[in-house]
Amino acid sequence: MEAIDYQQIAFQLILAAGNAKSLSFKAIQEAKMGKFDEASISVENAEEELTAAHGSQFQLIQREANGGENSISVLLIHAQDHFMDASLMKDLAKEFIEMYVRMSKYEDALAKTF
């Protein structure tokens, strides 16, 4: 079984997850300003970052599934936390975008009544 650089995998996870989380926050802010197309693009970019993070994570899963052992460190646990936070944030961003789209439609409809 080939050696794995756990520190490198952890930092790849942290980097990609951090990017995904930032893009998700950006998407929420864009939706809040009514920039729904931009918000959707930011969420898509966040999903791409999460896919990259999952690729790093999958190396560890695959190794263990093939009978290898993984060295667990606080850094790797921290990286997994970042990955899970970013995944949740992306899901929440999608919900916020949908909510802001609905609010915008209701505001437009309400404005037409006056």
Greatest alpha-carbon span in the chain: 71
Q: Compute the chain's Rg from CA coordinates.
A: 19
| Catalytic residue of the set 78, 95, 102, 106 | 78
| DSSP-derived secondary structure letter, 34 | T
Which pair of tokens denotes residue 4? 């794995």
81 is in an annotated binding site: yes
Going from the C-alpha of 60 to that of each of 50, 52, 56, 76, the distances in angstroms are 16, 14, 7, 10
Active site annotation includes 54: no
Q: Which residues are known catalytic residues?
A: 78
Annotated binding-site ranges for Mg(2+): 81
